[in-house]
Structure 1
């Protein structure tokens, strides 16, 4: 994405969110496959609406935006001139009443910042996890925060003393920080490979890690390990040591189903079998990213399921 922390870039992104909010902007980001199909339709290749520019990532004429805003976005590099017209380098999606910025389509860059249908399922899972009456949360961390959706949803649905957003992608950290600020959320963004650069324990760990086997090894998409489950398993392992007493993990991810067996569930059962964590595992969508099954890496996979793993550390240690 080539975003920087330069003051001009931050000011431009802030101006964009303020403008879109005042324009009552709304856009739900679909899957990349749906995005490509819709954009290929006749009459859909050039922008005529704000959602065309900042949602569908279509080229636009400079007269479509107010002059002052256009100049701000152009000077900060947020919109750039191409052969087909001007294009935005970011998209804006709406989630639970907030506007979140993330990477423009197509997300081919190694440092692309993800947002899509998984984000909406992740947010719904967090909201369901934080039911009314949730106790005061002292420390919360969103691992692999991307655009910051997890941290923002937590803050909107629970009382938190401290919220951390961690990622290995500097572009993601910049957008997460700006998105949290725009949502009125007090959260700290920090570079960290999982929790290697963060000390202490947490009352809540949330994560929506990449879970595919991506041949381009894009950080927002490649999950590592067998069939993309590596990061998900690492986060499950981290929870055993880094949850405070009474603290909980909410992990939204994907799992390869091979010969009818859920490979991630089998690994979690082995990992949590000797721990004191009380956990549950739910398949929330039986078939996501079906196009991946056409690749060599997934030639043995029946389907990819979206799953939610929750785990809680008891208030008091078990006496064995």
Structure 2
């Protein structure tokens, strides 16, 4: 599919910006929101003099840093906005290997923010490892809750013959995934609106997901996992994905779990659904302690830590 043909004039301007950044050798690794906040507070008052400050650190800057034509074009395309007499980018650009991805600017306070951060890098590594280790053919794959489209794009680049669906309920995510797919020059990604797998039919050789897993009082789509301690969406994905795998097909689920009283309530709920006659599975903690600051928030009183985990399920029968 020609992703570029689906883009509006504003989206084409964003794509052209991505190409310009690539040509300039732009690189930015996006940290956690807390690290981002602390670095910006530490460096407050320093001159903003490079594109990493503008499109990575999301710092406001004085008119004149960019050329007049760039400022005008990017303001007209709603990439830049006025901010107390200065300018600020609405989006960030992050690098992952040789790729660039556009996603929401910092801070990600809007309900439809499109997130990219350390979870994204770990999720990408999980996909890379699976594709390197598995020799099962992939004709049809899907990235559930695609966000910026990282999962779908990585699979599409590694398996050019596969049809890869990128699904999300967030129109902003679908828009940015389309732009990122065009920038990555992958023609085998189809971007669709869907609540988990309800909007698509058929089976898949590979299903990947990096869903939100926090209990977020603001209900932001990229962050709020629903259910008890944010596990609701991850459980829904497991429920819907197991019966949509082809024989030999796999589910890769990257998610977070609030550990309570030394137990893992997520895997305790999932295991009874993994019929040993139909599925092989592995489960491991990728990081035992993330987002520790969240333990002070409502709902986490009994949680000891939040771990990020990887569940891999392969259909055998």
TM-score (norm: length of structure 2): 0.94
Matches within 5 A, 1:122-141: 122-131=123-132, 134-141=135-142
Partners of 1:146 and 1:84 lie apart in 2 by 32
Partners of 1:275 and 1:215 lie apart in 2 by 40
Residue in structure 2 matched with residue 233 of structure 1 by the alignment:
235
Correspondence 1:66 to 2:38? no
Residue in structure 1 matched with residue 34 of structure 2 by the alignment:
33
Post-superposition CA distance 1:148-167 (Å, at most 9, x none) = 01111112333442010000
The change in CA–CA distance for 1:32 and 1:140 in structure 2 (over 3 A counts) is same
User: Contact conserved, 2:140 with 2:204, CA < 8 A, in 1?
Assistant: yes
Pairwise CA RMSD:
1.5
Q: Which stretches in structure 2 are left out of the alignment for 5+ residues? A: 1-5
Moved more, 117-126 or 255-264: 255-264
CA displacement at 1:45 relative to structure 2: 5.8
Structure 1 consecutive aligned stretches of length 4 or more whose deviation exceeds 6 Å: none
Residue in structure 1 matched with residue 210 of structure 2 by the alignment:
208
User: Contact conserved, 2:287 with 2:307, CA < 8 A, in 1?
Assistant: yes
Correspondence 1:86 to 2:87? yes
Residue in structure 2 matched with residue 252 of structure 1 by the alignment:
254
Q: Which stretches in structure 1 are left out of the alignment for 5+ residues? A: none
Helix, strand or coil at the partner of 2:257: strand
Post-superposition CA distance 1:34-67 (Å, at most 9, x none) = 0110000144565221110000100012322233
Partners of 1:305 and 1:244 lie apart in 2 by 30
Residue in structure 1 matched with residue 191 of structure 2 by the alignment:
189
Partners of 1:68 and 1:132 lie apart in 2 by 48
- Aligned residues between the structures: 311
Partners of 1:294 and 1:49 lie apart in 2 by 36
Post-superposition CA distance 1:261-309 (Å, at most 9, x none) = 1111111112214661111001000001111101121010000000000
Partners of 1:308 and 1:46 lie apart in 2 by 41
Residue in structure 1 matched with residue 171 of structure 2 by the alignment:
170
The change in CA–CA distance for 1:133 and 1:263 in structure 2 (over 3 A counts) is closer
Correspondence 1:10 to 2:11? yes
Partners of 1:218 and 1:312 lie apart in 2 by 31
Partners of 1:227 and 1:299 lie apart in 2 by 10
Residue in structure 2 matched with residue 120 of structure 1 by the alignment:
121
Moved more, 168-177 or 231-240: 231-240
Helix, strand or coil at the partner of 1:64: coil
Post-superposition CA distance 1:210-247 (Å, at most 9, x none) = 00000000010000111101111111111221011111
Out of 204, 216, 219, the residue aligned to residue 217 of structure 1 is 219
CA displacement at 1:69 relative to structure 2: 2.5
Residue in structure 2 matched with residue 154 of structure 1 by the alignment:
155
Partners of 2:47 and 2:292 lie apart in 1 by 29
Residue in structure 2 matched with residue 304 of structure 1 by the alignment:
306
Partners of 2:161 and 2:268 lie apart in 1 by 33
User: Contact conserved, 1:15 with 1:69, CA < 8 A, in 2?
Assistant: no
Helix, strand or coil at the partner of 1:296: coil
Moved more, 54-63 or 209-218: 54-63
CA displacement at 1:256 relative to structure 2: 1.1
User: Contact conserved, 2:136 with 2:248, CA < 8 A, in 1?
Assistant: no
User: Contact conserved, 1:59 with 1:84, CA < 8 A, in 2?
Assistant: no
Residue in structure 2 matched with residue 270 of structure 1 by the alignment:
272
Residue in structure 1 matched with residue 3 of structure 2 by the alignment:
none
Helix, strand or coil at the partner of 1:131: helix
User: Contact conserved, 1:134 with 1:158, CA < 8 A, in 2?
Assistant: no
Moved more, 19-28 or 273-282: 273-282
Partners of 1:34 and 1:44 lie apart in 2 by 18
